[in-house]
Structure 1
Amino acid sequence: MHFRPAARPDLAQLLALLGDAPPADPDAHVLVTDAHERAFAAIDDDPRNELLVLDAGDGTVLGFLQATYIPGLGNNAADRALLEAVRVHPDHRSSGHGRRLVAHAVERARQRGCTLVQLTSNKARTDAHRFYENLGFTRSHDGFKLRL
């Protein structure tokens, strides 16, 4: 197992883990659309974004997340890292892979000079909340979204 940046051939596996492209079965073939291709290219081309993958060693994606590095004026003008779309393949949950993935992302943020790592989680994902709290994350804010 090793960590690496996501590559274009991983896109179908990433979408399957997200459940954003039918079918939601992570082992099934998913439809990769032009919109997915454009979004992947935009993330891949942006130095303030990373798609980090935990690779089984054979190209199989066991888990991934997106890290975005955000400059800010507050907190003595320190950067912060935002983790999004933290996913581990259902067959590999409770194996420590998620812990290793998030720890790797936190270390990457530290190396980039970030002083804070933040994330949001859907209120219905109570198992994920316990997972993040066990990693040392604290509930500090309520999040809001406005769909456009």
Structure 2
Amino acid sequence: MKFRKATSENVQAIVEMIADDPLGSKRENYTIPLPKTYYDAFERIDADPNQELIVVENDIGQVIAVFQMTFIPYLTYQGGIRAQIEGVRVHKDHRGLGIGKTIFHWAIQRAKERNAHVLQLTTDKKRPDAIRFYESLGFNASHEGMKMHF
């Protein structure tokens, strides 16, 4: 497997994976051609040095997974850096092969390379399998997260 920064040519494959689950299918607009909003979002992410949209390719160059890492500088922890991983998706044809575990091992190493002192994530409470998976990797629900959607 090869990990690399996503390019605009990968946006369609990324959105397809994001939209391919019960929750994503309700909030995404995966149509061909993709709405311009996805490409605009990609440009904003790509231009921000604290954002890394990463794709994982198999041996034949097919994008089989995606995730986004955000590096958040802040004043607590003596000016520490918090790494956040979101949007982790593995293509439906490649699930159950240990790719998710490999992604998190890579992400933990990348967070350390960027001098982050913590790697955090959020997951929907409607995803109990994902919660068990994250717990098996050593994540713990140490905080209660809250959101306000607009």
Q: Deviations over 1:103-126 (max 9, x none)?
A: 111111100100000000000101
Question: Identity of counterpart residues, as a percentage?
Answer: 38
Alignment match of 1:94 (pick from 89, 93, 96):
96
How many angstroms does 1:75 deviate by?
Answer: 1.8
The equivalent residue for 1:22 is: 30
1:106 counterpart SS class: helix
| Amino acid aligned to 2:16 | A
Q: 1:127 to 1:74 in 2, by over 3 A?
A: same
Detail structure 1 runs of 4+ shifted over 6 Å in the superposition. none
The equivalent residue for 1:8 is: 8
Structure 1: unaligned runs, 5 residues or longer: 24-29
How many equivalent residue pairs?
A: 142
Q: Give me the CA root mean square deviation.
A: 1.2
| Amino acid aligned to 2:12 | A
Q: 1:122 to 1:139 in 2, by over 3 A?
A: same
The equivalent residue for 2:136 is: 134
The equivalent residue for 2:105 is: 103
How many angstroms does 1:59 deviate by?
Answer: 3.2
How many angstroms does 1:60 deviate by?
Answer: 1.6
* TM-score where L is the length of structure 1: 0.91
CA distance in 1, matches of 2:68, 2:128: 21
CA distance in 2, matches of 1:88, 1:78: 30
2:46 counterpart SS class: helix
CA distance in 1, matches of 2:49, 2:128: 32
CA distance in 2, matches of 1:139, 1:3: 28
2:38 counterpart SS class: helix
How many angstroms does 1:76 deviate by?
Answer: 2.2
CA distance in 2, matches of 1:57, 1:21: 29
| Amino acid aligned to 2:9 | P
1:21 counterpart SS class: coil
| Amino acid aligned to 1:136 | G
* TM-score where L is the length of structure 2: 0.89
CA distance in 2, matches of 1:39, 1:10: 13
Structure 2: unaligned runs, 5 residues or longer: 20-27
Does residue 120 (structure 1) correspond to residue 98 (structure 2)? The answer is no
